[in-house]
Amino acid sequence: MSEVSTAPSAPARPRLFGGLEAGERKLVIAIAAIALIGVGIATYLVYIHYAGIKPFCVAGNGGCEKVQTSDYAKLAGIPVAVLGLAGYLAILASLFVRGDLGRLAGAAIALSGFGFSMYLTYREIFTIKAICHWCVASAVLMTLLAGLTVARLIRAES
């Protein structure tokens, strides 16, 4: 007669990492970490917008306040920081969607965010004539996310 094992089974891996090969797992972790930093920055900018307070600006020259109160701080009446927060959260959510759909959605959102960040950076430099370090940080993060999400998409194709 054979014995039946009553030992508890190993805990299931979180859905985010289950079934991913090592290279893709590293990309997913990097994307998640960068997107979470973006969520933090965007949350801060949303908070200061609705609280009506001045942003903390490391440079101390008022560039952040000038950018945050410019005509370009809103799109169709929606604060750009809210759009950024939604974008970072959507990139995080795409990591939970299995297969090509999740990879494609993440890359599409990140590339759109990258393009919009480049447009806003152009406006900061040439129209507003002020630089907000929070905006620059967000643009750098979105650039990294665009690269990583596209790399994840291309890697899956090969």
- Structural domains in the chain plus CATH codes: 22-157 (1.20.1440.130)
- pLDDT tens digits along 135-153: 999 999 999 999 999 999 9
Measured distance between the N- and C-terminal CA atoms of the chain, rounded to whole angstroms:
49
Residue with tokens 């979180």: 14
Percent of the chain exceeding pLDDT 70 equals: 87
Pairwise CA distance, residues 140 & 11, whole Å: 37
| pLDDT value for 13 | 46
pTM: 0.86
Pairwise CA distance, residues 31 & 20, whole Å: 14
